[in-house]
Structure 1
């Protein structure tokens, strides 16, 4: 499997990249971002690309991929709706529209968020914009589109968020994570869970296009114990 990752230096992207490089069936991983990941692996090729709204100069390097894991994202804090739309909807669609044209056989997986508003009409600005982005992605002619909506994400294997607010919150939450898992087992995923689930839906599909935390965990369990779990074979788009 040939995999393309956007946002591999972010918290989610770091976890996804780690799982891709650990997977035996992933023969080639290419990252696209404004800065290098710092990872070394013979299967890893990195493209440092400054303009994430225009891919014309690197289109030749964006062909022949089986899956794209789109992990780019920004916080809506202190942003106007116009700014957040540009950095969420416009930026994502600039990449996705290019990839759909170049790789119609591709499975596209987008990291959204719990609480996303698919109606695009709610009061929460970020949720409306995320919903609009999800809806636009589902209309593109990919083989399949999956929308991951993780809730609380536990950072594993030394992974740290680049967002200052999250770096402040996670040290406080870490000692409470075991308790939170007991109280809210279906609301917490790990960085490894997200990466493993992305790989699994790229391999075998899933029964739904939108995956909430409980669905992400279920996909991971199915991948770990395929003999005891009904196969996830229904494609979504």
Structure 2
């Protein structure tokens, strides 16, 4: 159960976002640009979103496995939303683990070096476990990523494990499963969240949760939307 302290919310401040052009990352980016407590948003990604906003700085970046190259971009950052992810079905197992675990490890090392007092929010998956367990290869890898986060010296760290994520907005990029599950999710919201709802729950946790470390399951995030 999430614990919220809305009496004295924490400012998001200077924010670093990864994966800002993905389904979840684009929803987080929109929420950040609308958030008064986010003073600046640095979007570090493999391609630009094309958005224009006075708070937004987009950096086209490919060296995600190089902590030294990442460090200048996290200096002075207050909050990180790490939404960079890929589907395990689209890449090899080696590439999936590199993107999910190794790239995260480089980012965490850069954050520990430049801004260890920050808040770090990790987009994970339902069924992942921080002990590296899980019912599939992808979930085991997600578990390894959570392990790396919670072993880090970063001051505040949260992992988010949504169920089914229904795309918000247009149908551009929908998968076959989305045409099947989006209507079901609308009828039975408890099975997951929309990408916009996930983004909102991540921002609420970063600003209002008094804990230093927590895993938020799908139900916990839905509670934050009430």
Report TM bin, short chain: 0.7 to 0.9
Shift of the 26–122 alpha-carbon distance from structure 1 to 2, 3 Å rule, reads closer
Q: Give the count of matched residue pairs.
A: 213
Mapped contact 1:21–1:43 kept (Cα < 8 A): yes
What is aligned with 2:160? 148
Aligned positions of 1:66-85 closer than 5 A: 66-77=78-89, 79-85=91-97
Mapped contact 2:119–2:157 kept (Cα < 8 A): yes
The CA distance in 2 between the partners of 1:123 and 1:190, in whole Å, is 24
What is aligned with 2:21? 9
Cα-to-partner distance string for 1:30-87 (whole Å, 9 max, x where unaligned) = 1001100111100000111122111434533321111100001111126554332112
Matching residue within 179, 189, 201 for 2:187: 179
Question: Mean alpha-carbon deviation: is it higher for 8-17 or for 149-158?
Answer: 149-158
The CA distance in 1 between the partners of 2:83 and 2:171, in whole Å, is 14
Matching residue within 71, 76, 79 for 1:59: 71
The CA distance in 1 between the partners of 2:85 and 2:201, in whole Å, is 19
Cα-to-partner distance string for 1:165-195 (whole Å, 9 max, x where unaligned) = x5222123333332233xxx2x211212211
Matching residue within 142, 145, 149 for 1:137: 149
Aligned positions of 1:79-118 closer than 5 A: 79-118=91-130
Shift of the 156–96 alpha-carbon distance from structure 1 to 2, 3 Å rule, reads same
The CA distance in 2 between the partners of 1:76 and 1:57, in whole Å, is 26
Higher relative contact order (CA 8 A, sep 6+): 2
Shift of the 78–194 alpha-carbon distance from structure 1 to 2, 3 Å rule, reads closer
Question: Mean alpha-carbon deviation: is it higher for 115-124 or for 197-206?
Answer: 115-124
Question: Mean alpha-carbon deviation: is it higher for 170-179 or for 137-146?
Answer: 170-179
SS at match of 2:87: coil
The CA distance in 1 between the partners of 2:178 and 2:34, in whole Å, is 25
The CA distance in 2 between the partners of 1:108 and 1:15, in whole Å, is 17
Shift of the 193–178 alpha-carbon distance from structure 1 to 2, 3 Å rule, reads closer
Which consecutive residues of structure 1, in runs of 5 or more, have no partner in the other structure? 222-237
Mapped contact 1:14–1:159 kept (Cα < 8 A): no
Aligned positions of 1:203-222 closer than 5 A: 203-205=207-209, 209-221=214-226
